[in-house]
Amino acid sequence: MTTNHQEFSQDGYFTHKFETLSALQEIREICESMAKAAFPEQYTSLDNYHLIDIDSKAHDDFQYQVFTRLNDKKLHHQFVNQNLNFFISLFGPDIDIQTKTYIRIARPGKQLDNIGMHRDIDYGNSAYEISLSLPLINQKAGCGLSIIPKSHLFIDQKTQQLNREDVERGDTKNEMGFLYAPKRLTGIKKEQEKCICLPFGSGLGFTLGLIHGQEENTSNMTRWSIDFRVKNSFHPVNKNLKHDYYTRFNQGILTELAKKFYQVNPDEFNLLTNIVN
């Protein structure tokens, strides 16, 4: 299954069924084994995680433990490598990948498990990047992320600065991708939103200028998913983005040849602009 690049360009998002899933399956298995170990008397399945009787702190602590384990193993990097031809078709051979993946555990009716409708461009990313969301369960209606098609083309999108009392700058929830000072988009209508519910093995990708998110999981299952960002190595990043946010992942043969040339011809290298070391 190939991605329709023309529709992606027009609508700002795509869905794709990936061919190689062993790394994603291992991510799911880690989540399952950790949930079983943490809640042995109550755990039955990932999609029924919300039936476990725990308070907010226990949930946040557990999610951070999963987040840490997944990023120690860097399995999302393995996933990209296993499906490299797809990513090369979007970005070319020179690819950077977000160093850490986010794990999302959004229980039904728990608004604070989500980060609301937003644009990543408002939080230090650029429109040269995409975000890829991969469900770890088969999502029913109301469980998936919502997007507003073509919203990357909206002009003068206004926001209102808010504060989340459950997230502080630099704390573990903030590290996991929760916003301590979210910018609520104004003028957004519910009927503009399209909820994208996917089976395990498929993914939702979108430009970071697209409005997306989830105010509340309205299904009867917990949404488990990971998401991370990908870009071409030579595309610009926001100057406020942390230096280790991205990891150089793949390098094309022409880039490799050029680097070898400029290593022995440093004067020629100094004449270049817009380069990536």
The boundaries of the domain holding residue 157 are 5-251
- Rounded CA-CA distance 190/186 in Å is 12
Residue 271 lies in a domain: no
Residue 217 lies in a domain: yes
- Rounded CA-CA distance 126/119 in Å is 10
Residue 122 lies in a domain: yes
- Rounded CA-CA distance 16/199 in Å is 11
Residue 260 lies in a domain: no
Residue 177 lies in a domain: yes
Closest CA to 113 of 200, 35, 217: 217
Whole-number pLDDT of residue 182 = 84
- What tens-digit pLDDT sequence spans the chain (277 residues)? 456 778 898 999 999 999 999 999 999 999 999 999 999 999 999 999 999 999 999 999 999 999 999 999 999 999 999 999 999 999 999 999 999 999 999 999 999 999 889 999 988 889 999 999 999 999 999 999 999 999 999 988 888 888 888 999 999 999 999 988 888 888 888 899 999 999 999 999 999 999 999 999 999 999 999 999 999 999 988 888 888 999 999 999 999 999 899 899 988 888 887 666 6
- Rounded CA-CA distance 272/277 in Å is 11
Q: Which structure tokens are listed for 159?
A: 């926001």
- Rounded CA-CA distance 38/135 in Å is 22
Q: Contact 97/228 with Cβ under 8 angstroms?
A: yes
- Rounded CA-CA distance 131/115 in Å is 15
For the chain, what is the domain count? 1
Between the CA of residue 146 and those of 129, 149, 171, 196, 228, what are the distances in Å?
19, 10, 26, 6, 17
Residue 45 lies in a domain: yes
Whole-number pLDDT of residue 236 = 86
- Rounded CA-CA distance 233/98 in Å is 11
- Rounded CA-CA distance 108/259 in Å is 51
Residue 265 lies in a domain: no
- Rounded CA-CA distance 157/148 in Å is 13
The domain that contains 242 carries what CATH number? 2.60.120.620
Residue with tokens 């270049």: 272
Residue 261 lies in a domain: no
